[in-house]
Structure 1
Amino acid sequence: MLSLGIVTVSDRAATGVYVDQSGPAIRDVFTRWLGEPFTEAYRLVPDEQPLIEAALRELADEVRCHIIVTTGGTGPAPRDVTPEATVAVCDRLLPGFGEQMRAESLKSVATAILSRQTAGTRGGALIINLPGKPAAIEECLRAVWGAMPYCVELIGGPRFTSSSAAPRPYRPA
């Protein structure tokens, strides 16, 4: 069974200034797009690199999530450190994920070029950074979904299926 980790990175949500909407938006996409049940682990952390790194390590190494999706902290502001935390914990980077998500987002918003989201692997976990704006979550996941199932298999995770609502995944013949 696929295990999903969701990490919302937000000072304001972590302190209760507002309710996290991005983490639930990720859960909603996976609920609609996966063709089978999955388990989920959720973390809400402030924009602090050591805390983001700790959450990613825990979800990859202890919880053994196959996919970890972060939301927030990918912009150019000084406290936006999610990409740095992701790079620090990953064994291998997958720059094509960030490139594809930005290319897709640029079709609808000019400021997408400011996004620094990235992706990589840590052991058997695929880690993907998404922007913090709930409206951008499905758009960015749609841009990379085709590669995600095969990537998870290549790093030792389970083969999982997509529902008819999801973009068609790539698998070699």
Structure 2
Amino acid sequence: MSTLGADQELLIGLVSISDRASQGVYQDQGIPALEDWFGRALRSPWRTVTRLIADDQPSIERALIELVDELGCNLVLTTGGTGPAARDVTPEATLAVADKLMPGFGEEMRRISLNFVPTAILSRQLGVIRGRALILNLPGQPKSIRETLEGVKAADGTVLVNGIFAAVPYCIDLLAGPYVETADEVVKAFRPKSARRPGSAA
């Protein structure tokens, strides 16, 4: 985890939403998977703030508000609670605290996951803006998290379908956040040429 250039580091809020994991019935896998992924994917400074909470709408709303309004996270990723079951209320909580809906993120997450499982159509994941932060609902399983962020690749590493994270650095730019650089071999960030820093490929 990078600690250099703290004034320009990306502050990432990670929220794992699970009744059983929050009660200690089993170990959470979402947050460790995300921290491992960011360790491979980011080339610029970053750090995380984590929360492990139950499938409870008021608790989810409070966590999102705290991470954005009080702690100043630039990016917040949730895992879990996006299906059709009665206890799956992550999208409702996310919408309740949103200033703007970013529908393309949810559409693309489902499109990516449909390359792997037909039940991806049951997901209600979405993306929103609150203040100057981007909030994204991700799947709960580490494999699905990686696929959603990175996309679909051929055996030789050729990108067949871009992951959603390719668009995240530029979105953070537009929200006046830190300049995020990625490891191209994991996920290649896309920016218009006019938005690229001198000496940066993206």
Where on the TM-score scale, by shorter chain, does this alignment land: which range?
over 0.9
State how 1:145-156 maps to structure 2 within 5 Å.
145-156=165-176
Shift, 1:23, TM fit: 1.1
Say which structure is richer in helix.
Answer: 1
CA contact (8 A) 1:74 1:131 kept: yes
RMSD: 0.8
Aligned-partner Cα distance in 1 for 2:31–2:187: 20
Q: 1:157 aligns to what?
A: 177
Structure 1 length normalisation: TM-score?
Answer: 0.97
1:48 is the counterpart of 2:68:
no
Gaps of at least 5 residues in structure 1 are none
Aligned-partner Cα distance in 2 for 1:138–1:39: 18
Aligned-partner Cα distance in 2 for 1:133–1:32: 18
Q: 2:42 aligns to what?
A: 34
Shift, 1:156, TM fit: 1.3
Aligned-partner Cα distance in 1 for 2:33–2:185: 15
Aligned-partner Cα distance in 2 for 1:23–1:169: 22
Q: Deviations over 1:123-162 (max 9, x none)?
A: 1111000111221001111220111000001011111110
Q: Percent identity?
A: 53
SS of the aligned residue for 1:7 comes to strand
Gaps of at least 5 residues in structure 2 are 1-8, 151-162, 194-202
* Structure whose CA Rg is larger: 2
Structure 2 length normalisation: TM-score?
Answer: 0.84
CA contact (8 A) 1:6 1:42 kept: yes
Aligned-partner Cα distance in 1 for 2:186–2:165: 8
Shift, 1:53, TM fit: 0.4
Larger RCO: 1 or 2 (CA < 8 Å, sep 6+): 1
CA contact (8 A) 1:32 1:165 kept: no
SS of the aligned residue for 1:78 comes to coil
